[in-house]
A and B are shown apart, each in its own frame.
Chain A
Amino acid sequence: MQFRSLCNIPVGHSAYVKKLHTAGTMHRRLLDMGLTQNARVTCLYQSPAGDPRAYMIRHTVIALRTEDAQTVEIL
């Protein structure tokens, strides 16, 4: 995909959500987790295999797989 996504931020860095490029239930799930527009997300650490990674979203740590993180466009 052409846009910069959550996958592109290195561990320890933060970004703001611009748009979700998902559909269906995952879309709403990500929204309900708090990934709405302009929400601040920090990548905290990664699992031994490097995927999934853990993100801080609205004071909670949420693990996302690369495939899902790729759908979150950031500013």
Chain B
Amino acid sequence: MNTTKSSQCAQNEKPVVIALAGNPNVGKSTVFNALTGMHQHTGNWPGKTVGNARGWYTFKNQIYNLVDIPGSYSLVAHSAEEEIARDFICFGEADATIIVCDATCLVRNLNLVLQILEVTDKAVVCVNLMDEAARKHIFVDCNALSEALGVPVVATCAKKNDGLETICKTVYELTHRKDQCAPKTVTYHPVVETALTEIIPLIESATSKINPRWTALMLLQNDDSLLRSMEQYLGFDLKQQEPIASVLASCYSRLEQTFPNAQSLRDDIVAHLFKAAEEICHQAVRYENKAYMQKQLRWDRLLTGKAFGIPTMILLLLFILWLTVSGANYPSALLSDWLFGLEKPLSSALLAIGTPLWLHNALVLGIYRVVAWVVSVMLPPMAIFFPLFTLLEDLGYLPRVAFNLDHCFKKCHACGKQALTMCMGFGCNAVGVTGCRIIDSPRERLLAIITNNFVPCNGRFPTIISIITMFFIVGNAGIISSFLSAAMLTGVILLGILLTIGISKLLSVTLLKGVPSSFTLELPPYRPPQVGKVIVRSIFDRTLFVLGRAVSVAAPAGLIIYIMANVTVGGNTLLAHTAGFLDPFARLFGLDGVILMAFILGFPANEIVMPIAIMAYLSGSTLTEFENLSTLKTLLVDNGWTWLTATCTMLFSLLHFPCSTTLLSIKKETGSIKWTLLGFLLPTICGMLLCFLLASTARFFGLV
């Protein structure tokens, strides 16, 4: 492919901006990745791209900026995400638009294509998933399609990099030719057409920034949200301008005779779009095997069936967690041995070059140790969990989870897609919160945003896993013990899910009252995941990214802990003062001052909670040499940990304030301090309440 990313290529011209549009789940992001080589994350569920992802490629010495637009079914937006998509396509002033289509369901895809072609003629239609279509015996004649649409059509299979070079070439030709394409215009109802011919010349004289026919059609349809965006783009309200306003008024009154309300007019417009799409497909697409769905159907009936649907989901979760727990143990021990083994040479090297002792101690005992802890505890579970989860995502299983759980969410007056945002939350709550844009109703979106933190993110897994293995599972190795750990972890996660549902219900009868809105969810076909790419992508994009963030937070936190442990005020260290101050309060909840302090210091990133607690204990203990993970339990028990402390720490890890990144995302998504505060308080209060109840009960019955 001629899409090098070398920077020495000529950059004489300004970059060409290309919009990448299409229905959800047509492999848009795969096209994006294949073109740019930038590894933007894709997933097999609708609405994966949140916000506009950007990347670039070069072709014939020209830089092309590619903007990946969230998938949408239509230019009429229903959700915040679709508004982003629509505004970029309509008013983003891209030099060209690549419209990605799914070869297996072209009619519905063409509905969007025809709408986009009304806005712009600089478009290339990319018929993707040609391999899947071939497997289903669906044949698309791209020449016929191109002829019917009046714009270039390229067949691709982005997964295998097929046809991408042709896309680059076509885009190049499209952006360099002076003459215009003549895309297919859909002919609407005669009454609409008459009105259009009246308005078009008026718009032409008012502005040249937008396509007059499309603008006229939008004015007739009177879509508030779109007209607002249009006003912003143009800088004036076209609708209020004379003579447009008066002509529009007379058009409306004439249209009313045929279409009694605005809705019937819009219905008729969509009906014409689909009719045109059907006609085009009739010429260009051949279906040779009507029974191509059978295999997927069999799987779906099993995976969403009464008998197996819910149990399969839980077993899969259990299985993934088991693989994570049992797989992570050994590399974790190896890593910590290696990293802590490095401590001595590092220390002598620092001393040899004449580093002052205080600096040496701050660097090695403070920063290095905490970072080493974070890496050895976090990296292995993440490197296993992320790829496994991404495989499920790629396979297309996650929308089935939403399908299975929707009834439950409906009962809480929430949206089934919340299950998808919860799945994203397993990786990172901040991503989950942003992902809530896929939910249409603002009320249901708020529910999903505020409750996302009840799902433990990957930063909290290691804490929970290490506590489970240390305190609840006797014996270090063996399938049974790792299975038990996974079962306990599953239990913790299920508790989080139950609380999510409970709190959603509670919110929807109190602060966020409302009836459940409508719900449509596409269930895409199962697609064989690209195992190699998944592993590379999830390790580089997710694991290393999250780890990098954790380390960059861990280093200063380690320093703070070290300073606190070594600066003495009034005969006691700062650390002892702080922990002592927090202690009585923390004891109420079955924790201790050090743990609570670790949670507070872990506010920027939850990953560092356990390492900080350990460092704090270490600084006050005689145990200065730290050999391996197995000595950890001794250290904790020496510091007064019981099964109750362990359970409460686990519960509090599941249920406490979101990390700073997540809170910032909540603030950004809700635009309100009030909801952010609620997102902070709800899990914290839940956690405190549960821990308090557990601790009091245990103490009352003398269990500790």
Contacts from A to B (Cβ < 8 Å): 20, 22-23, 25-34, 36-37, 39, 44-52, 54, 56-65, 67-68
Neighbouring B residues of A46 by C-beta, 8 Å: 304
CB proximity of A10 to chain B, nearest CB, Å:
14
Across chains A and B, the number of contacting residue pairs, with CB separation under 8 Å, is: 125
* In contact, B521 and A63 (Cβ under 8 angstroms): yes
B404 contacts the other chain (CB 8 A): yes
Query: Are A48 and B309 also in contact (CB < 8 A) when A29-B78, A33-B73, A59-B104 are?
Result: yes
Query: Are A68 and B519 also in contact (CB < 8 A) when A28-B76, A36-B270 are?
Result: yes
Closest 9 A/B residue pairs (Cβ) = A49-B407, A59-B105, A32-B74, A48-B309, A26-B518, A32-B73, A61-B523, A63-B521, A31-B270
Query: Are A63 and B520 also in contact (CB < 8 A) when A28-B266, A32-B73 are?
Result: yes
Give the residue name and chain of the B residue nearest to A53 (CB): B403
Give the residue name and chain of the B residue nearest to A22 (CB): B518
* In contact, A67 and B518 (Cβ under 8 angstroms): yes
Within 8 Å by CB of B309, from A47, A52, A60, A65, lies A47
The interface-forming segment of B240-248, B293-301, B534-542, B639-647 is B293-301
B263 contacts the other chain (CB 8 A): yes
- Which of B111, B403, B408 is most buried by chain A, counting CB atoms within 10 A of its CB? B403
Give the residue name and chain of the B residue nearest to A28 (CB): B76
User: Which residues of chain B from 57 to 111 have a CB within 8 Å of any chain A CB?
Assistant: 73-74, 76, 78, 104-108, 111
A44-B523 Cα distance, complex, nearest whole Å: 11
Q: How many residues of B contact A (CB 8 A)?
A: 45
A39-B300 Cα distance, complex, nearest whole Å: 23
CB proximity of A26 to chain B, nearest CB, Å:
4
B548 contacts the other chain (CB 8 A): no
B687 contacts the other chain (CB 8 A): no
Query: Are A60 and B293 also in contact (CB < 8 A) when A36-B271, A52-B403 are?
Result: no
* In contact, B407 and A52 (Cβ under 8 angstroms): yes
* In contact, A34 and B520 (Cβ under 8 angstroms): no
Kindly list 7 other residue pairs between chains A and B, CB separation below 8 angstroms, not including A32-B111, A45-B305, A59-B105.
A34-B274, A49-B407, A51-B407, A59-B108, A61-B296, A61-B522, A63-B406
CB proximity of B605 to chain A, nearest CB, Å:
36
A-B contacts, 23 listed (Cβ < 8 Å) = A25-B440, A26-B517, A28-B270, A29-B73, A29-B520, A33-B520, A34-B107, A34-B111, A36-B271, A45-B297, A47-B304, A47-B404, A48-B306, A50-B407, A51-B406, A52-B416, A52-B521, A60-B522, A63-B403, A65-B410, A65-B516, A67-B518, A68-B518
B363 contacts the other chain (CB 8 A): no
Query: Are A47 and B403 also in contact (CB < 8 A) when A34-B274, A58-B105, A62-B520 are?
Result: yes
